[in-house]
């Protein structure tokens, strides 16, 4: 009789345990958006490009705006750089993304399609990375002092874009800080010396 009571008790305990619904697995918290200055993103892209070609040299670096990165303070969630290689006879773009925007590019570094390269092409004029001493946070500060602050005071959410390239006429590496659009439709575009950090000119 005692054994029967023990068996009934055990069955009741097991039934009670099985009636409890299993806890759903906890979803991992989404990663926050990673914003980076131009030089920080460039270093990541430069290392990756050298996996493609050891003699890869940059010719352009530019930011892209996203819903979670408007370019203020010199930081963006997406950066794209173009590299050229004499040994590979080609150019190849690479993109770094830290965005969580569902319509944005995937996080991490993504290579683009390789294309042919001509050293005489002005649009792919390579530059020595030793000239890149000034980051986009500094370029942003300079641009703010030359009209950018007034624009953002009126439109605080206006996007700010950055473009780095070599100016053949002045023989300088330059940051172009662009308010409200790209190179062709910006409301204000400021050129800043990427080596010294000096203001160069208002381009638009």
**Residue 6 pLDDT more than 70?**
no
Backbone angles phi, psi at 159, to 5 degrees: -70, 150
The answer to whether residue 13 is domain-embedded is: no
pLDDT in tens, 59-72: 999 999 999 999 99
Q: Report, as an integer, the average pLDDT of 4-24.
A: 50
The answer to whether residue 25 is domain-embedded is: no
**Residue 168 pLDDT more than 60?**
yes
- Find the domain containing 134 and state its range: 36-202
The helix (run of H) or strand (run of E) holding residue 49 is helix 38-52
Residue 194 or 168, more confident: 194
Of 44-48, 143-147, 184-188, the range with the lowest mean pLDDT is: 184-188
CA atoms within 13 A on the CB side of 112: 16
Q: Report, as an integer, the average pLDDT of 122-132.
A: 94
As a whole number of angstroms, the distance between CA 27 and CA 200 comes to: 50
The answer to whether residue 64 is domain-embedded is: yes
The answer to whether residue 20 is domain-embedded is: no
The answer to whether residue 86 is domain-embedded is: yes
pLDDT in tens, 71-96: 999 999 999 999 999 999 999 999 99
The whole model's pTM is what? 0.85
The answer to whether residue 7 is domain-embedded is: no
The answer to whether residue 113 is domain-embedded is: yes
Q: How many structural domains compose the chain?
A: 1
Residue among 187, 135, 133 at smallest CA distance from 160: 187
The answer to whether residue 10 is domain-embedded is: no
């Amino acid at each position: 009789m005692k054994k029967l009571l023990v068996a009934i008790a055990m069955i009741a305990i097991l039934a009670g345990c099985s009636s409890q619904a299993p806890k759903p697995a906890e979803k991992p918290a989404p990663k926050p958006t990673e914003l980076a200055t131009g030089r920080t993103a460039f270093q990541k892209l430069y290392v990756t490009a050298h996996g493609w070609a050891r003699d890869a040299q940059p010719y352009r670096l530019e930011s892209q705006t996203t819903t979670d990165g408007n370019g203020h303070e010199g930081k963006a969630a997406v950066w794209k750089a173009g590299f050229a290689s004499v040994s590979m006879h080609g150019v190849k773009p690479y993109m770094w993304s830290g965005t969580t925007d569902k319509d944005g590019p995937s996080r991490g570094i993504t290579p683009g399609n390789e294309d042919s390269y001509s050293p005489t092409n002005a649009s792919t004029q390579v530059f020595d990375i030793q000239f890149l001493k000034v980051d986009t946070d500094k370029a942003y500060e300079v641009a703010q002092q030359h009209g950018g602050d007034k624009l953002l005071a009126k439109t605080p959410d206006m996007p700010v874009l950055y473009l780095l390239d070599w100016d053949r006429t002045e023989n300088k590496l330059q940051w172009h800080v662009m308010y409200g659009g790209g190179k062709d439709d910006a409301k204000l575009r400021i050129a800043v010396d990427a080596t010294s950090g000096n203001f160069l000119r208002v381009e638009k």
